[in-house]
């Protein structure tokens, strides 16, 4: 990075550190921060959408839809995260490949499962075997987003399901009395009012989601915790220009600061959202807000 970094062994102190912290390998770690933030920013709305769909399904009038919603919530909430991340992603990947295999190679005769191997025709591979590395990485990233969204969606569904029930019955009955249809009542009265009940639960989920990102490495996406462990481990002079003893403590301390700052910012933002949602609501906090303003 810097011009004086050509011979790290001769450097000392701050100069050495500035070279050390700007190696290409360290850049990968800074890049991973971006990966994690990107993952969160895509996963959170997707999980919320899954949750909304799940909750709506679970309180549906149509029985099969209700069963699907309830099963989804119960099943995903009940399975340990780590089992889900280890098993489900490989299964999901294979399911995609199997479907493509049936469509693209209808006259393939060999079985897809041969002993331990899972073999689909070349055209059905996802991504294609000869695709460049970034395609593989993006695909892995998308699988990660989908898996996170399904897992956190189930929790969000439960939160939203509860929130929908917490909206005072009088509000819904009034809507009905005004002649609104079920659909109108749902979208115009129930949904705008439920968020204030859902937010405490959802904010919990958001905090858990922030801290769950190290699970990414199980999916082959290199996140900040992976890099902290990799960079912090003791390095012998044979294998690097910057040998050092076990520095994982310092790397993890940096992660600690990062995560604490991140949660602090999140809390601040969530408080603002909560204040906004409370405005004009028939809750104790909404009432307090009204009185304070008056």
Partner 1 sequence: MKNLYLTTAALAVAGSMAFADAHSVVRLGTEGAYPPYNFLNDDGEVDGFEREVGDELCARAELTCEWVTNEWDSIIPNLVSGNYDVIIAGMSITDERDEVIDFSEAYTQPDPSAYLALSADVDLAGGVVAAQTGTIQAAFVASTGATLLEFATPDETVAAVKAGEADAVLADKSFLQPIADSDGEVMLLDQEELIGGGVGLGVRESDGELRDALSAAIASMKADGSLNVLIEKWGVGATF
Binding site residues, partner 1, CB under 8 A: 23-25, 27-28, 86, 90, 93-94, 97, 114-120, 122, 125, 129-131, 133, 136, 217-218, 220, 222, 229-230, 233-234, 236-243, 245-246, 248
Nearer Cβ to partner 1 (98/186): 98
Nearer Cβ to partner 1 (14/24): 24
Closest distance to partner 1 from the beta carbon of 211 (Å)? 19
Nearer Cβ to partner 1 (53/218): 218
Closest distance to partner 1 from the beta carbon of 22 (Å)? 10
Closest distance to partner 1 from the beta carbon of 110 (Å)? 9
Closest distance to partner 1 from the beta carbon of 146 (Å)? 16
Closest distance to partner 1 from the beta carbon of 129 (Å)? 6
Please write down the HEC assignment for all residues of the chain: CCHHHHCHHHCCHHHHHHHHCCCHHHHHHHHHHHHHHHHHHHHHHHHHHHHHHHHHHHCCCCHHHHHHHHHHHHHHHHCCHHHHHHHHHHHHHHHHHHHHHHHHCCCCCCCCEECCEECCCHHHCCCCCCCCHHHHHHHHHHHHHHHHHHHHHHHHHHHHHHHHHHCCHHHHHHHHHCCCCHHHHHHHHHHHHHHHHHHHHHHHHHHHHHHHHHHHHHHCCCCHHHHHHHHHCCECCCCCCCCECCCHHHHHHHHHHHHHHHHHHHHHHHHHHHHHHHCCCCCHHHHHHHHHHC
Nearer Cβ to partner 1 (22/171): 22
């Amino acid at each position: 990075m810097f011009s004086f970094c050509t011979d790290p062994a001769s450097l000392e102190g701050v100069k050495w550190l500035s070279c050390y912290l700007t190696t290409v390998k360290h850049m990968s770690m800074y890049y991973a921060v971006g990966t994690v933030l990107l993952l969160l920013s895509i996963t959170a709305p997707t999980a919320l959408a899954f949750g909304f769909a799940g909750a709506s399904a679970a309180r549906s009038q149509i029985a099969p839809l209700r069963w699907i919603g309830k099963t989804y919530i119960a099943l995903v909430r009940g399975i340990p995260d780590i089992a889900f991340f280890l098993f489900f992603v490989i299964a999901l990947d294979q399911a995609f490949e199997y479907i493509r295999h049936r469509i693209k190679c209808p006259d393939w005769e060999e079985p897809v499962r041969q002993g331990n191997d899972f073999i689909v025709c070349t055209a059905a591979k996802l991504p294609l075997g000869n695709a460049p590395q970034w395609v593989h990485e993006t695909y892995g990233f998308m699988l990660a987003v989908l898996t996170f969204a399904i897992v956190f969606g189930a929790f969000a569904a439960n939160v939203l399901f509860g929130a929908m029930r917490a909206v005072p019955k009088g509000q819904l009955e009034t809507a009905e009395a005004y002649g609104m249809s079920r659909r109108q009542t749902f979208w115009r009265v129930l949904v705008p009012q439920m968020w204030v009940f859902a937010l405490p639960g959802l904010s919990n989920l958001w905090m858990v989601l922030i801290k769950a990102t190290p699970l990414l490495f199980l999916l082959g996406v290199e996140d900040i915790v992976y890099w902290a462990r990799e960079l912090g481990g003791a390095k012998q002079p044979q294998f690097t220009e910057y040998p050092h003893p076990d520095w994982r403590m310092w790397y993890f301390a940096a992660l600690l600061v990062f995560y604490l700052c991140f949660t602090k910012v999140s809390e601040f933002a969530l408080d603002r959202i909560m204040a906004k949602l409370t405005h004009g609501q028939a809750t104790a906090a909404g009432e307090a807000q009204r009185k304070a303003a008056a």
